[in-house]
Amino acid sequence: MIILHFFSLKITKRKALVFSNFEAIERFTSEKILSKNLILLTMRVLAFLFLILAITGINLNYIGETSDFDFILAIDSSGSMLATDYEPNRLEAAKNAALEFVDYIPSNIKVGVVSFAGAGFIKTKPTLDHSEVKKTIKDLNIELTGGTAIGDAIVTSTNLLMIEDKPKVIVLLTDGQNNIGITLDEAINYANFNNILINTIGIGTKEGGYFTNYNESVVSVIDEESLKKIAEKTNGKYYWAENSEKLKEAYKEIADTKEKRISLNLSLYLMLIGILILIIEFTLMNTKYRTIP
């Protein structure tokens, strides 16, 4: 566009020089008869820039306040959740805390449940039937697929929330590391693209807990850095549940939270700005900056 602008000016100047002595007229008027019209060029470039940005569908994401959410409870169900540093084990402690969470939240909030080990498993889609959610949580057991696919759990939970209109929150509870499936960075980008806030809960003592794996006693220690990263990059919060009471407190604080991720589509505003600039540019081109033949 810039190249065409200056090329057209050059052509116009060549045609006009046949009829006029611009140097004499310029000395007489103390003004330049031929202008590069940089103001018009700038306005035209800005107008097309705004229109292009409008077509791309840019969203402005920011943190606001609300008391109305849809939740997905993503609960680790890998073998390490049988570790006994919680009474009777991590999985049962997580289920008890999740049940209290469901009892605590208002009845007009939808809740869904996802469990994960080597993959993410949809147990209940977001629903207002909290009794069904509680039954699902009580029935959670260790999944047979090996590994801990935290990234897959985030994607599965995000897909369940995409159809909901309210602000969306994933409560991700795990004791392990993402060691199978998609990477955490890919999962975080996917959640952010769909405007999902993720609160993470790390379950496990600092010393770790022991569980039996293929007749061997194995110690399981939480990966706090990964959970902090997930929460920070999705505008959520990380909680370390060092015991059962802390675990329940974490769920209660999440239920009480007022912060949400708000997404504002800027396409219409950008398009209106672009059109307005084009109208102003067209008006100036035919008045103040009109080319005299």
Report pLDDT for 260: 61
273 and 185 part of one domain: no
3-class secondary-structure state, position 74: strand
Nearest Cα to 69, choosing from 282, 271, 261? 261
Report pLDDT for 33: 46
3-class secondary-structure state, position 177: coil
Q: Is 259 exposed, middle or buried (0-12, 13-18, 19+ CB in 10 A)?
A: middle
User: What whole-number distance in Å separates Cα of residue 260 and Cα of residue 263?
Assistant: 10
Answer with the residue of higher pLDDT: 212 or 173: 173
The interaxial angle of helices 90-104 and 130-138, nearest 10 deg, is 170
Report pLDDT for 110: 94
Q: pLDDT tens digit string along 75-119? A: 999 988 998 888 899 999 999 999 999 999 999 999 999 999 999
Beta bridge partners of 212: 217
The three-point CA angle 190-192-195 to 5° equals: 115
272 and 253 part of one domain: no
Q: Is residue 292 part of a domain?
A: no
User: What whole-number distance in Å separates Cα of residue 186 and Cα of residue 282?
Assistant: 45
Tell me the H-state helices in 112-163. Answer: 130-138, 150-161
Report pLDDT for 105: 92
Stretch 11-26: mean pLDDT: 56
CATH number at residue 136: 3.40.50.410
Q: Is the pLDDT confidence value at 218 over 60?
A: yes
Q: Is residue 293 part of a domain?
A: no
The three-point CA angle 203-176-71 to 5° equals: 60
Record the tokens describing residue 9, joined without a space: 């000016």
pLDDT range class, residue 281, cuts 50, 70, 90:
confident
Record the tokens describing residue 94, joined without a space: 């997580």
Domain range for 149 is 62-264
Q: Is residue 290 part of a domain?
A: no
Stretch 21-50: mean pLDDT: 68
Structure pTM?
A: 0.70
48 and 186 part of one domain: no
Q: Is the pLDDT confidence value at 22 over 60?
A: no
Nearest Cα to 227, choosing from 188, 189, 253? 188
160 and 207 part of one domain: yes
Answer with the residue of higher pLDDT: 259 or 293: 259
User: What whole-number distance in Å separates Cα of residue 292 and Cα of residue 246?
Assistant: 79
User: What whole-number distance in Å separates Cα of residue 290 and Cα of residue 274?
Assistant: 21
Stretch 145-163: mean pLDDT: 93
User: What whole-number distance in Å separates Cα of residue 137 and Cα of residue 112?
Assistant: 10
Q: pLDDT tens digit string along 237-263? A: 999 998 999 999 999 999 988 766 666
100, 85 Cβ separation under 8 angstroms: no
Q: Is the pLDDT confidence value at 64 over 80?
A: no
Q: Is residue 179 part of a domain?
A: yes
Report pLDDT for 115: 97
Cα torsion through 142, 146, 152, 156, rounded to 10? -40
89 and 167 part of one domain: yes
Over its C-alpha atoms, the chain yields an Rg (Å, rounded) of: 30
Give me the residue label for tokens 């039954």: 135
User: What whole-number distance in Å separates Cα of residue 177 and Cα of residue 150?
Assistant: 8
Report pLDDT for 34: 45
Count CA atoms closer than 13 A to 196's CA, side-chain side: 29
Q: Is residue 82 part of a domain?
A: yes
Report pLDDT for 173: 97
The per-residue pLDDT of the chain, averaged, comes to 84
3-class secondary-structure state, position 45: helix
Stretch 172-194: mean pLDDT: 92
Domains: count for the chain? 2
Q: Minimum mean pLDDT among 44-53, 213-222, 271-280: which range?
A: 213-222
102 and 186 part of one domain: yes
Q: Is the pLDDT confidence value at 42 over 80?
A: yes
User: Which of 6-15, 173-182, 252-261 ranks highest by mean pLDDT?
Assistant: 173-182
Give me the residue label for tokens 């890998």: 78
